[in-house]
Homo-oligomer: A and B are copies of this chain.
Amino acid sequence: MKGIIAKEPGGADQLIYTEMPEPELEAGDLLIEVHATAVNRTDILNREGKLGYVNNPIIGVEVAGVVTDANGHHAFKQGDRVMGLVNGGAYAEKAAMPAERAMKIPDSLSFAEAAAIPEVFLTAFQTLYWIGQLKENETILIHAGASGVGTAAIQLAKVMSDAQVIITAGSEEKLDYCRKLGADTVINYKEQDFAEEVLQATNKKGVDLILDFVGASYWKQNYKSIAVDGRWVLIGVLGGNTVNQVNLMDLMAKRIQLTGTLLTPRSDEYKAELSKDFINKTIDHFEQDTIKPVIDITFPITEAANAHKHMEANKNIGKIILTV
């Protein structure tokens, strides 16, 4: 079978679609014929050789496809349409997926739409609910609102919690899109001081929860934006790693809960539990089309390099899909 690997650690042009060994099934795995996969920032880090989490030369951590070998797992049978996270190996014709975290694809969704769900919706769901403890009618600030996780988080927060959603993004097109997804307040971070806008939108109270993909460059403004007893979940450092001169008394004075999290390196058990909880709570919304996967563009898998370049250009709204 064929799969995408990086010839050498480096730029997008290192990606080649080449003959690779079939996935080796372990006892817990299903064998999947992959119909679609999707690009994640973690894939770029893997391509660059910067992460050691994924022990598979084939890039990619999520697939949508069809079960070709249920491998003795009675919850699935040959021909079932499934989506979910894999431990690497997604950009390929076949992939091994732990049965415990396979989710049946809602009938209303195509494979490309299904491939747009696992990583970003599970990350958003985990961040909002398992870590961020978002409650009904709370206020939330979502940075990078037009990103994959951002578009998922906006919808989950609105539909499941009727939250007051405030987002940041860097173009009018992105702001408009986020508004259509349900965001109540949209802020162009290139033109506005987002902390000022957040305080204005919340009667100076600040938000109960921040989804922070940005890190260092937003640190001070995020601190200004958060309410007393607020939760601040750090899931990316697009704006840098290192914050200088952090005043711990500030964290105590506002009684902030700051949590760093990553989904990919978590245990199989965690991902299985998360996948189950997520699909139970959201499947009706996907079937009724009240929550939708958001696709920016679809490439054939042979153009994986272009798909990576598209993500690196930071212009996508929602997911970048590869079809196999």
In the complex, how many angstroms separate the beta carbon of A249 from the nearest chain B beta carbon? Answer: 5
Binds B, one of A142-150, A235-243, A316-324: A235-243
CA distance A111 to B112 in the complex (A): 70
User: For A259, what are the chain B residues with a Cβ–Cβ distance below 8 Å?
Assistant: 251, 255-258
A258 B258 Cβ-Cβ under 8 A? yes
User: For A251, what are the chain B residues with a Cβ–Cβ distance below 8 Å?
Assistant: 234, 258-260
Point out the residue from B235, B249, B257 that lies within 8 Å of A258, measured CB to CB. Answer: B257
CA distance A162 to B256 in the complex (A): 28
A245 B244 Cβ-Cβ under 8 A? yes
In the complex, how many angstroms separate the beta carbon of A85 from the nearest chain B beta carbon? Answer: 17
A243 B248 Cβ-Cβ under 8 A? yes
Interface string of A248-276 (1 = CB under 8 A from B): 11111111111111100010000000000
Instruction: Give the size range of A's interface with the partner.
Output: 20 to 34
CA distance A242 to B246 in the complex (A): 5
Report copies per complex: 2
In the complex, how many angstroms separate the beta carbon of A294 from the nearest chain B beta carbon? Answer: 24
Q: At the interface, yes or no: A216 with Cβ under 8 Å from chain B? A: yes
A249 B237 Cβ-Cβ under 8 A? yes
CA distance A248 to B248 in the complex (A): 14
User: For A261, what are the chain B residues with a Cβ–Cβ distance below 8 Å?
Assistant: 252, 255
Q: At the interface, yes or no: A247 with Cβ under 8 Å from chain B? A: yes
A246 B243 Cβ-Cβ under 8 A? yes
Q: Is the interface of A mostly helix, strand, loop or mixed?
A: mixed
User: For A254, what are the chain B residues with a Cβ–Cβ distance below 8 Å?
Assistant: 260
Q: At the interface, yes or no: A57 with Cβ under 8 Å from chain B? A: no
Interface string of A216-244 (1 = CB under 8 A from B): 10000000000000000011010001111
Q: Which B residue sits closest to A251, measured CB to CB?
A: B260
Point out the residue from B243, B248, B262 that lies within 8 Å of A241, measured CB to CB. Answer: B248
Chain A residues 77 to 128 lying within 8 A of chain B, measured CB to CB, are: none
Q: At the interface, yes or no: A170 with Cβ under 8 Å from chain B? A: no
Q: At the interface, yes or no: A10 with Cβ under 8 Å from chain B? A: no
User: For A216, what are the chain B residues with a Cβ–Cβ distance below 8 Å?
Assistant: 248
B248 A215 Cβ-Cβ under 8 A? yes
In the complex, how many angstroms separate the beta carbon of A221 from the nearest chain B beta carbon? Answer: 15
User: For A242, what are the chain B residues with a Cβ–Cβ distance below 8 Å?
Assistant: 245-248
CA distance A91 to B250 in the complex (A): 29
Q: Which B residue sits closest to A240, measured CB to CB?
A: B248
A255 B262 Cβ-Cβ under 8 A? yes
In the complex, how many angstroms separate the beta carbon of A149 from the nearest chain B beta carbon? Answer: 14
User: For A256, what are the chain B residues with a Cβ–Cβ distance below 8 Å?
Assistant: 259-260
Q: Which B residue sits closest to A241, measured CB to CB?
A: B249
User: For A253, what are the chain B residues with a Cβ–Cβ distance below 8 Å?
Assistant: 260, 262
User: For A260, what are the chain B residues with a Cβ–Cβ distance below 8 Å?
Assistant: 248, 250-256
> What are 6 A-B contacts with C-beta separation under 8 Å?
A243-B246, A251-B258, A252-B260, A253-B262, A255-B262, A256-B259
Known A235-B252, A251-B260; 4 more pairs at CB < 8 Å: A241-B248, A243-B245, A257-B258, A258-B258
Identify the 9 closest CB pairs spanning chains A and B, nearest first: A251-B260, A252-B260, A257-B259, A246-B246, A243-B246, A215-B248, A241-B249, A258-B258, A255-B261
